[in-house]
A and B are shown apart, each in its own frame.
Chain A
Amino acid sequence: MSDIHTLAGAYALNAIDDMDRARFDRHLAECPACAAEVAELTETVAALAEATAETPPVGLRSAVLDRIDRTPQLRPETRRTSGRRPLPRRRWLAAAAAVVALGGAGAVGYVIADQSRPDAGTRADTEARRIAAVVGAPDARMRTTATDGGRVSVVESPSLDEAVAVLTDLPAPGTGHAYQLWVIRDRTPQSVGVLATGRTDATELVSGVRGAQAFGVSREPSGGSTTPTLPLVAQLPLG
């Protein structure tokens, strides 16, 4: 049993950050037994919701019923797979990357939010909304740098304290290697995500960029490192 599998409990409890979640999602897609275990543990966790039941505020019922009157439902997925599969998210993010790369900041935020509806899962939907919010924010600012045939762009919204990093056509990181993303604050790099081994394109939401000086991409052994290997593949100023 691989080491990553021990994350099944934390995953079922939602007790993981986005980086681990992405890692584990990829694992789940390749491990049906793990997916079955996660489904069971998720069910177990749901039993804990009994403990905190509490009468909701009186206005909640009418507010929710009002909203569903105005909210169209999604069609069933044609494939009966779960939102945990990474594919829909990747597909969505590819679309977002294209939009960001083409349009930069501005009104494209709406387009992104709209496109996310047909085939994105719950998680991707939340992320999609946040990405759209960053890209569409009035104070959104994009910076781009070319690197070895590829490109790294960061759209940053200081007011939202979030950024969207878009990596396009980076050179293959090599066998057993992956790109890792960093936010650099007070000269200290902090990891904000590791891409899948060999992946060369990505769109990632980066939270907590306020006060940071730079965004960086490094090439690391698969799974990432605690400090970036120098020189960085790309670096962009933030703030």
Chain B
Amino acid sequence: MTSEPEPGSQEAAPTDIDALMRAVADGDRDAFADLYDAVASRVYGLVRRVLRDSGLAEEVAQEALVEVWRTAARFDPSRGSAAGWIFTIAHRRAVDRVRAEQATVDRERRAATANVPCDDLIEEVTARLEQQAVRRCLRTLTQLQRESILLAYYGGLTYREVADRLGTPLPTVKTRMRDGLIRLRDCLRVSWG
């Protein structure tokens, strides 16, 4: 963690990413190289956060980015931003890998394998949020909403695992994830709108 980059320093505005994505969908390799430069730090960082292993993260980030190229024509801009689509692909790849690895150890040990203390995880990612709006909006959530969302997303946990970890009933965690995200959405909408 000694040589952390400045997250966000290479980020392109969302609209640029959308435009690049359209060119990539037409098979434009130069546009893909630009798209890589615009999103790679977030794709790699997210995957590494979930997998907690640099070597594995490099492999999975590569798979995710190649998948972006391969399936670019399937991206539907009416359903959301290109950046959102790309990060969803990356996150799912990482989570799939975590769960495949976990499937090879005893099921009983599953909860124990994701053993990052949740307070540390939440504190760290909150501290690193460059986007002031996201950080501020996360503060408007209840503690349980925030913990449920951040543990699931950055920890790659299922809501069942989150419920176990937080010692909270399953239906409560499910509901808090949803209403927490709705509150976050509404807050971000005001901030960016």
A: residues with CB less than 8 A from B are: 6-10, 12-17, 39-57, 59-61, 63-65, 67-69, 71-77, 80, 82-83, 121-123, 125-126, 130, 161-162, 190, 207-208, 210-211
Contacts and interface: CB of A to CB of B under 8 A. Distances in A.
Given A50-B130, A74-B73, A76-B74, A63 B62 contact: yes
A83 B74 contact: yes
Interface string B19-59: 00000010101001100110011111110110000100010
B1 to A, nearest CB: 10
B103 A161 contact: yes
B116 interface: no
Interface string B81-99: 1011001111111011001
B88 A42 contact: yes
A6 B152 contact: no
B36 A61 contact: yes
B178 A6 contact: yes
A73 B70 contact: yes
Contact of B33 (A46, A47, A65): A65
Nearest to B128: A51
Contacts of A57: 44, 54, 58
A9 B84 contact: no
A82 B76 CA distance: 8
B142 interface: no
B158 A52 contact: no
Contacts of A48: 125, 134, 149-150, 153-154
A55 B39 CA distance: 10
Nearest to A16: B158
Interface of B is mostly: helix
Nearest to B44: A56
A9 B66 contact: no
B45 A52 contact: yes
Residue in B32, B71, B106 with the greatest tally of chain A CB atoms within 10 Å: B71
Interface of A is mostly: helix
A54 to B, nearest CB: 3
18 contacts: A13-B159, A14-B156, A45-B84, A45-B88, A48-B149, A48-B153, A49-B91, A51-B7, A55-B5, A55-B41, A56-B44, A57-B54, A59-B58, A61-B37, A74-B70, A76-B74, A207-B103, A208-B103
Given A51-B125, A53-B42, 8 more contacts: A9-B181, A14-B95, A15-B177, A17-B158, A46-B83, A49-B46, A50-B42, A210-B104
Contacts of B104: 161, 208, 210
A42 B93 CA distance: 15
Given A10-B152, A16-B159, A53-B41, A122 B71 contact: yes
Contacts of B42: 49-50, 52-53
Contact of B177 (A9, A51, A74): A9
Given A9-B178, A65-B36, A14 B74 contact: no
B39 to A, nearest CB: 9
Nearest to A81: B76
A64 B78 CA distance: 27
A57 B130 CA distance: 21
